[in-house]
Amino acid sequence: MEQPEIVKGASLWRDAWKRLLKNKLAVFGLVVVAIMAVAVIVGPAIIKWATGFAYDTIPPDGNLIKSFPPSLQHPMGTDDSGRDILARVLQGGRISLMVGVISTVVSLIVGVSYGATAGYLGGRTDNFMMRVVDIIYAIPYILIVIVLLSVFGGPNTPGWIQSIAGSIGGGSTAGLSQIILLFFALGLVSWLTMARVVRGQILSLKNQEFIMAARATGVSTPAIIFRHLVPNALGPVIVYATLTIPSVMLSEAFLSFLGIGVQAPFASWGSLAADGIKNISVFPWQLIFPGVTMALTLFSLNFLGDGLRDALDPQTRKF
């Protein structure tokens, strides 16, 4: 029998992708974020190969002033100790982006499971679980992070964090431990909103007939939550996750700026800005380059997040 060719239906993702490409700002954001991601991953190595400067290379000469303005050898100039700022910005970007991404992944895993479970089970369980969220929410997150970092930071770092840091190797274990601690601290607070977002989605989905149909075929509760409900809530979750990355990065920059986040010899955009601001009137490039890079990245991530929201949920699109 002759069969007509099957028309491949446009999936939700392909539709969303098409809509995203129509949004110029979102495409701009996507491109900048992609370039930035590639740059921070391979950039430091290239610079080291090209100029011999790693992010923590301090030139041996004994000049009194080591901070030079941008030049061909140092496109972004050098800092107080003579370190190449471009290398440090890229290295700092690596940590900043990593903090953003890892904390968001943590918030995704914890927030989605927690919110979906609370939303689906409902009743008293839901009430209890969400009140816990409310309580953690009520404590200023900066306070939680500061307390965590100062209690467990420095010499008090728990052994297991040190061993993780040790196993990653490279640089100082203490500095890495501090960064890992920062991941945990930021991840701990960033899942709260995610849990609320997901719970709201699940609440509106769980009374749909297909969930009843799944229950009627004997599917177990965890399978209903994770196979049937969560994928349906994925749109808003992805959007919120893209918007979580910049907000976590901003928190990290803020903490590092205050001096309780990433510590030397490691750099993040926040700590670079903190270093730069001391010399703003004399060596403005120390602040401008890290600052602009960070601002550009955060803008781009926000544009991308907004674009994704419009693409994944066409009903809320403004015309």
Partner 1 sequence: MIEENGKILTVNDLKTYFQTEDGVVKAVDGITFTLSKGETLGIVGESGSGKSVTNLSIMRLIPEPPGKIVSGTIVFDGVDVRQLSIDDVRKIRGKRMAMIFQDPMTSLNPFLKISTQLMEVTELHLGHNKKQAYEHAVKMLETVGIPDAKNRIDGYPHEFSGGMRQRVMIAMALSCDPELLIADEPTTALDVTIQAQILELIKDLKARMGTSVILITHDLGVVAGMTDKIIVMYAGKVFEQAPTFELFANPANPYTKGLLKSVPDPAHETGAELYQIPGLPPDVAHLPPGCPFAPRCERAEDICRAQYPPFVETNENHRSLCHFAKEVYAESIQENSVKTGVAKTTEIELNPPA
Cα–Cα dist 243/193, whole Å:
11
11 binds partner 1 (CB under 8 A): yes
Task: Report the residue number, 71 or 127, with the smaller CB distance to partner 1.
Answer: 127
Q: How far apart are CA 109 and CA 241, in angstroms?
A: 11
- By CB under 8 A, name the one of 63, 156, 167, 217 that touches partner 1: 217
Q: Nearest-CA neighbor of 206 among 230, 171, 188?
A: 230
Q: Does 14 bind partner 1 (CB under 8 A)?
A: no
Give 78's strand partners.
Answer: 84
> Is residue 227 a contact point for partner 1 (CB under 8 A)?
yes
Q: Which is nearer to partner 1, 48 or 215 (CB)?
A: 215
φ/ψ (deg, to 5) at 78? -125, 165
Q: Is 213 in the site for partner 1 (CB under 8 A)?
A: yes
User: Helical H runs in the chain?
Assistant: 12-22, 24-51, 85-121, 123-138, 141-152, 159-168, 173-205, 209-216, 221-223, 234-258, 269-277, 285-312
Q: Which stretch binds partner 1 (CB under 8 A): 84-92, 142-150, 210-218, 263-271?
A: 210-218
If you ran DSSP here, which 8-state letter would residue 84 be given?
Answer: B
Among 65, 220, 264, 280, indicate the residue that binds partner 1 (CB under 8 A).
Answer: 220
Q: Is 300 exposed, middle or buried (0-12, 13-18, 19+ CB in 10 A)?
A: buried
Part in contact with partner 1 (CB under 8 A); list of ranges 6-14, 239-247, 272-280, 299-307: 6-14
Of 232-271, which residues contact partner 1 (CB under 8 A)? 232, 234
Q: 97 vs 197, which CB is nearer to partner 1?
A: 197
Q: What are phi and psi of 152, to 5 degrees?
A: -100, -5
Taking CB under 8 A as the rule, does residue 204 contact partner 1? no
Using alpha carbons, list the distances in angstroms from residue 80 to 76, 86, 292: 13, 14, 19
How many residues line the site for partner 1 (CB under 8 A)? 23
Region from 21-29, 78-86, 112-120, 215-223 binding partner 1, contact rule CB under 8 A: 215-223
Q: Please, which of residues 18-77 interact with partner 1 by CB under 8 A?
A: none
Least distance to partner 1 from the beta carbon of 33, Å? 27
Stretch that binds partner 1, among 15-23, 54-62, 140-148, 208-216 (CB under 8 A): 208-216
Least gap, CB of 242 to partner 1 (angstroms) = 20
Least distance from partner 1 to the Cβ atom of residue 233, Å: 10
The pair of structure tokens assigned to 243 is 């918007």
Q: What residues numbered 111-130 form the site for partner 1, per CB under 8 A?
A: 123
Token look-up 């491109």 returns 31
Query: DSSP string covering 89-127, please?
Result: HHHHHHHHHHHHHHHHHHHHHHHHHHHHHHHHH-HHHHH
Of 129-188, which residues contact partner 1 (CB under 8 A)? none
Task: Count other C-beta atoms under 10 Å from residue 70's C-beta.
Answer: 15
Stretch that binds partner 1, among 112-120, 149-157, 231-239, 288-296 (CB under 8 A): 231-239
- Is residue 3 within the footprint of partner 1 (CB under 8 A)? yes
Residues in contact with partner 1 by the rule CB under 8 A: 3, 6, 9, 11, 123, 208-210, 212-220, 223, 227-228, 231-232, 234
